[in-house]
Structure 1
Amino acid sequence: MPRPPHPHSPSPGRHTALRKTLVPVALGALLAGTLGTGSATAAQEDDPGLVRVSGAETAADRTEIAGTGVSIDLVEEDGTLLATATPDDVDEITELGYGVDSVQLPAEAMHPDPGYTSYPEVVEQVDALAAEYPDLVHTEVYGQSYEGRDLVAVRISDDAAVDQDRPEVLFTHSQHAREPLTVEMALHIMEMLTEGHGSDEQITELLETREIWVLPNTNPDGTEFDQSEDAWQDWRKTREPNEGSDALGTDMNRNWAYNWGCCNGSSDDPESITYRGHAPESATEVEALADFVRGREADGEQQITTAIDFHTFGELVLWPFGHTYDEVTDGMIQDEYDTHQALGELMAESNGYTPQQSSDLYITDGSINDWLWADQGIVNFTFEMYPSSMDDGGFYPPSDVIEEETARNEEPVLDLLGYADCPYRIIGEEETYCG
């Protein structure tokens, strides 16, 4: 969908230099050279690569393209799409009548950047933060990944060791392994809140009236693999084997147990980058995270009231639903939609992102966005962080942007925390819904 310009928007024509027309007979070879392969072996002709798709003018067009099993990585301002696709995907997209060009990235764009934080380093930093701020930081392990790594949750409040009766806010990061800037966002949130307590009036008050959960990396196996070689591996999924297939991994953000696989918004092919798994919550990491959220219920009431799931890239603030284009529908009345929209637009005012319903891009199903709201009643958002184009690094922007691009979300995070006691206050309906 067309998006208004903002300070980080690319100028017209900047994408032109990236284009290379595909020669059909050489399609596999071209794609194999565009990105990291997602495996530790040399690129093969059936490996996914980055393509630009033209002719998709509507959300329905984009949904049709996503239904082939590709990952739509960006909707560009001129309406073209950047997508990660296999040669078979490209053949199917071409048969649907859309144009496809290969995108050749410079080799240096895929070199791992030591400025990003590995999973062992995340654990070290969390432990150090808990030691420095023992009253403010409580850590717990809510499960193990498929490969046996601890899945860590961090609770931040003025008395973090005690589970108090307060509104809770959830921040999740790195469901998709190839999005390392989201992990840096988690570290920034934790540092901002702990350092601000006692010196910043707003943060101090929030820590005295809220409990904040930060899950800094929900897919550590994928992250470790993505950073394991001398080039980024462009790995999105988990690393758990799929029975009956040589393909590894499930797309965590298509594996959630609300309208799973309902609406042509995910793939049933284990080879696909958007593979939804063989059943809802079949991914080890999704089941653990869902159990963690369900475990925050007390006396039959979910204590988590608001949440953000951080992703890259595209600079968007998205809200549910993703499985339908409808705003008011089964599971979403007008006041509920208006609350999501108003909060989304408020947060976008300060970070410069584009606010919109998730399905305005294209249909997705089995997403955390939809599950958190429909199953748990949590007002929630997906942030697609910097950059707004592939020109600025795509999934792997240089690490020298980390400080600026994480600080860019300080005010939205604080805004969401501020409304956690009663999200409906933003539409003036606190008496109706919050007693």
Structure 2
Amino acid sequence: MLGTSLAATAVVAAPDDGGGDRVQQYREKTQVVFVKAPTRAQRNRVIALGLDATEHATTKGIEVVLYGDRDAATLRRAGFTWDVRVADLEAQTRANARKNQRYAARVAESPLPSGRTTYRRLSDYQSELTELANKYPTLTKPITLSKRTVLGKRIRGIEITRNADTVQDGKPTFVMLGAHHAREWPSAEHSMEFAYDLLQGYRLGKARNREILSNERIIIVPIVNVDGFQISRQAPVLGEDYSAFNYEMKRKNCRISQFTPEEERGGTCEDNPAGRLRGTDLNRNYPGFWGGNGAATNWRQDTYRGDAPSSEPEVRAIRKLISDRAVTVMITNHTYSNLVLRVPSIAATGKSPDEVEYKALGDSMAEANSYTSQASYQLYDTSGSTEDWSYWNTGGFGFTFEIGPDTFHPDYQAGVVAEYLGVAPADGAGKGGNREAYYRAAEAAMTNRLHSRIKGNAPAGYTLQVRKRFISQTSDVIDAAGNEGRPRYYQDTLTTRYISDGGSFTMHVNPSTRPVVVGRYGRDPVAPPQEPADLTNPQGVPAVGGSETSTFEIQGPPAADNGTATLSFKWPNGADWDYQILDPAGEPIASAATLDNPEVATIPDPVPGTYTVEAVNYEGGSAEDDWTGEVTFQSPEPATYTGLKEAWTLTCENRRGKIISTREVIVDRGEIFRAGDACAPGIGAVAAKR
């Protein structure tokens, strides 16, 4: 094979175009390292280096895969230091494979809904989707998305609800997606298991399942990146080689960028001169805020955004799916980091106008799996992500799940069985795990206060449609040199259809005014901010490498209303102190561990309570250069809304397909538009009522 023969040489080389290529000795160990980057700006800098950054980041730094000394040198030149988390990724992968073999050998049937004991291959997903459709014919509808992959494969899924063939029934829709990134195998497994769960529970008469399947539609697409997943899942373990030619670590799809040199265009996607680096990162290709921070501009990099917004057929297929349904909640599954992420994905976007409800739903799901619930930008900026397009343009709540704590495809028992069911060793053991989190998302999808409704009357066989077409803009597009240019523009058309069975009807839709038009979330302060306070430095100085702690109080209403708390630490001489701040529950919430003096840490929207500062004598701290600190408080930013309203266009077609009525519908989240006789000739509007 082409890739294998190239990988067998002493050095695998590619033209040095500044894009972070993977020139390396093939026998170098591949490592996963935790890069010390305690600020979001520093984590963004790590992403911009073009290395293979994982989704695992905290307030202290971010994990990166280093494929040899060349990658390590890139980090050193940028001034970063790191701790090694996985010293030999190849060895870890082989060890996990052996665990999988032992588990499958000793367990005939796992406690998963499907009973699976090993990771599926593409053919398994395809056959099981067919089997579920055949076994539950009235509860399922097999679906094939509107676009094929780059290599011409079908993207398949399943639609689950009572009377599944009656698609245009006005129900709200919950969409679950897996494997945008090829190497993230658990993301597809968890998606597939939820399909089994829903159907088996309904058959067994479980009230929860019957309520969900009676009142909403669930669409599950376990593998979005079909080409890449098949290559990753079928890749042979190449022993000592974990270079660009180990396709098991492929992240992207199979697109050959227009910027690919001629000499690297040959071969097939699973065997080509660029190896696994060929392709586009689908989760950086969605047009919402495409081209901004957090996506690579160079085609070689793992987070390459693509040649244009929504350039990839897989992305256009998901956009079409979501645009043609009233998708009120969406989850896209990934690995890894034990996170439930919500918008915004870019800090400059500002919080969503639905932040209160959005965060509450994320927190509820994270309660079940013991993941961290937070806005995506709190890790680092990410442009072109799935939910950043879907939420801001359709109004449906979108989340990213980062499944599992520490690897892309962990051993099956831990990464799939335990994480899905919520049993040891998963963090969500005893709380329900991802299974319970998914059920909560499904219940939210049919919760009336979280979306909108249109009610009225229509004759049997008449078709009602709500529709909206609009133009949106991407981010200011960053070029290869890091300069911001003009945004690009793209078009979306949202449509929901309902065929009346006569008499009254209810159509579940998202709010008529898109969140990107509504504005950005803030809140009007209900009290002044807290007065500044000095931080107490305890007596004595810890030895180098040691630490000491101090506490301080943050007040809440009615005494004070704090939008942010800013901690500043300084010392007189040449030492280096680092700081970590723990919230009232003892969890890390911020850190200050740069080379700066003063060190600064910021806590957004702090909850009232007692906070702890841990001061680490990183280098040279003594009585002569001991630290002092201060905490200051700022009011929350007031709410800013545009006041603009958008309308759905509601039409009624008779049985011959002729439009006999058109009207505008303006309806907010949680409200009802009373359409009356929706098919009465003429144009009109009725105010929305709660």
Q: Work out whether residues 68 and 89 of structure 1, in 8 Å CA contact, stay in contact via their aligned partners in 2.
A: no
Distance 1:261 1:50, change over 3 A: farther
Distance 1:64 1:397, change over 3 A: same
1:405 to partner: Cα distance: 1.4
Q: Which residue identity is paired with 1:311?
A: H
The higher radius of gyration belongs to 2
Q: Work out whether residues 240 and 250 of structure 1, in 8 Å CA contact, stay in contact via their aligned partners in 2.
A: yes
Percent of aligned pairs sharing the same letter: 25
1:98 aligns with 2:80: yes
**3-state SS in 2 of match to 1:359:** helix
1:207 aligns with 2:213: yes
Q: Structure 2 matches for 1:245-284, cutoff 5 A?
A: 245=260, 246=264, 247=274, 248-262=278-292, 264-284=293-313
**3-state SS in 2 of match to 1:313:** coil
1:244 to partner: Cα distance: 3.4
User: As a proportion of its length, which structure holds more strand?
Assistant: 2
Q: Which residue identity is paired with 1:290?
A: R
2:140 aligned residue:
137
Matching residue within 226, 229, 232 for 2:235: 229
What is the distance in 2 between the residues matched to 1:425 and 1:152?
Answer: 28
Q: Work out whether residues 339 and 424 of structure 1, in 8 Å CA contact, stay in contact via their aligned partners in 2.
A: no
Q: Which runs of 5+ in 2 are unaligned?
A: 14-21, 25-29, 102-117, 238-246, 265-273, 422-432, 452-510, 512-666, 672-690
1:79 aligns with 2:60: yes
1:425 to partner: Cα distance: 5.1
Q: Which residue identity is paired with 1:144?
A: R
Distance 1:266 1:90, change over 3 A: farther
2:411 aligned residue:
398
Distance 1:292 1:50, change over 3 A: farther
**3-state SS in 2 of match to 1:153:** strand
1:182 aligned residue:
187
Q: Work out whether residues 221 and 238 of structure 1, in 8 Å CA contact, stay in contact via their aligned partners in 2.
A: yes
1:250 to partner: Cα distance: 0.3
Distance 1:208 1:79, change over 3 A: same
Deviations 1:69-98 (A, max 9, x none): 234215466824321356665444323311
What is the distance in 1 between the residues matched to 2:188 and 2:363?
Answer: 24
1:324 aligned residue:
347
1:156 aligned residue:
160
1:169 aligns with 2:184: no
Distance 1:138 1:375, change over 3 A: same
1:56 aligns with 2:37: yes
What is the distance in 2 between the residues matched to 1:137 and 1:108?
Answer: 42
Q: Which residue identity is paired with 1:433?
A: R
Matching residue within 124, 128, 145 for 2:127: 124
Q: Which residue identity is paired with 2:254?
A: R
Q: Work out whether residues 161 and 217 of structure 2, in 8 Å CA contact, stay in contact via their aligned partners in 1.
A: yes
2:434 aligned residue:
409
Deviations 1:297-354 (A, max 9, x none): xxxxxx11111000001100000011225643xxx22xx1111111000111111101
1:289 aligns with 2:321: no
What is the distance in 1 between the residues matched to 2:225 and 2:72?
Answer: 28
1:216 aligned residue:
222
What is the distance in 1 between the residues matched to 2:225 and 2:284?
Answer: 14
1:238 aligned residue:
253
What is the distance in 2 between the residues matched to 1:138 and 1:338?
Answer: 35
Distance 1:135 1:222, change over 3 A: same
What is the distance in 2 between the residues matched to 1:294 and 1:147?
Answer: 24
Deviations 1:220-279 (A, max 9, x none): 1111111223226211000121223134100000000011112x2101101000000000
2:366 aligned residue:
348
Distance 1:416 1:76, change over 3 A: closer
Q: Which residue identity is paired with 2:93?
A: M
What is the distance in 2 between the residues matched to 1:357 and 1:269?
Answer: 26
Higher relative contact order (Cα pairs below 8 Å, separated by 6+ residues):
1
What is the distance in 1 between the residues matched to 2:295 and 2:59?
Answer: 25
Q: Which residue identity is paired with 1:417?
A: A
1:124 to partner: Cα distance: 0.3
Distance 1:432 1:281, change over 3 A: closer
Distance 1:77 1:183, change over 3 A: same
2:327 aligned residue:
304
Q: Work out whether residues 38 and 59 of structure 2, in 8 Å CA contact, stay in contact via their aligned partners in 1.
A: no
Q: Which runs of 5+ in 1 are unaligned?
A: 1-38, 297-302
What is the distance in 1 between the residues matched to 2:36 and 2:401?
Answer: 26
Count of residues in correspondence between the two structures: 378
Q: Work out whether residues 69 and 89 of structure 1, in 8 Å CA contact, stay in contact via their aligned partners in 2.
A: no
**3-state SS in 1 of match to 2:143:** strand
Q: Work out whether residues 53 and 98 of structure 1, in 8 Å CA contact, stay in contact via their aligned partners in 2.
A: no
What is the distance in 2 between the residues matched to 1:220 and 1:368?
Answer: 17
Q: Which residue identity is paired with 2:306?
A: G
Q: Structure 2 matches for 1:328-339, cutoff 5 A?
A: 328=351, 332-333=352-353, 336-339=354-357
Distance 1:311 1:74, change over 3 A: closer
Q: Work out whether residues 63 and 265 of structure 1, in 8 Å CA contact, stay in contact via their aligned partners in 2.
A: yes
1:376 to partner: Cα distance: 1.7
1:399 to partner: Cα distance: 1.3
Distance 1:122 1:350, change over 3 A: same
Matching residue within 670, 673, 678 for 1:434: 670
Q: Which residue identity is paired with 2:249?
A: D
1:68 aligns with 2:65: no
**3-state SS in 1 of match to 2:53:** strand
Give the alignment's TM-score, normalised by structure 2: 0.52
Q: Structure 2 matches for 1:188-203, cutoff 5 A?
A: 188-198=193-203, 199-203=205-209
Distance 1:118 1:74, change over 3 A: same
Q: Work out whether residues 56 and 336 of structure 2, in 8 Å CA contact, stay in contact via their aligned partners in 1.
A: no
Q: Which residue identity is paired with 1:406?
A: Y
Aligned-residue Cα RMSD (Å) equals 2.5
Q: Work out whether residues 327 and 337 of structure 1, in 8 Å CA contact, stay in contact via their aligned partners in 2.
A: no
What is the distance in 2 between the residues matched to 1:273 and 1:106?
Answer: 17
Q: Work out whether residues 379 and 423 of structure 1, in 8 Å CA contact, stay in contact via their aligned partners in 2.
A: no
User: As a proportion of its length, which structure holds more helix?
Assistant: 1
**3-state SS in 2 of match to 1:433:** coil
Matching residue within 362, 370, 373 for 2:391: 373
